[in-house]
Amino acid sequence: MAKQGRGISRREFGRRAALGAAATALVPGHALGDVADAAAAKGAVRAAAGAQQDAKLSAESQAEIEEKVTAILRKYGSRLKDAQKKDIRRIVTEGQKPLETMRAFALDNADQPANVMRIYPDAGAVKAARR
């Protein structure tokens, strides 16, 4: 089985993963129905909130949402269920508001970044952190 002091072996991990997958396959379908109903109700509440948020966006942003959703559905639509398609629209709509805010912030090419990534920290900063 597992080697002493080395944790779990790859073979034992594979065995446990196969048992876990088999156990989930044995769960009766009607037991999963309650979970699906709760998820559908939660999705309906989110869709109503998304419609309110969608009304606050500009016409350009709404057109961009439609373009993004259309592109996703064109590529993956045949594999998605109706609830998943609604979730995609909701997720894209939720992501559009922060994107619109970010685009409204004016930047010039001469603007410097707020912070600079340093791979090797300054020697003074390392000493100050150790104190």
Contacts of 37 (CB under 8 A, 6+ apart): none
Q: Please tell me the distance from the alpha carbon of residue 122 to that of residue 129, in angstroms, as a whole number.
A: 11
pLDDT given at position 46: 56
pLDDT given at position 36: 56
- pLDDT per 10-residue tile (average), the chain, 131 residues: 67 85 70 57 56 72 93 93 93 92 87 80 74 72
Cβ atoms of residues 65 and 57 within 8 Å: yes
3-state secondary structure of 120: coil
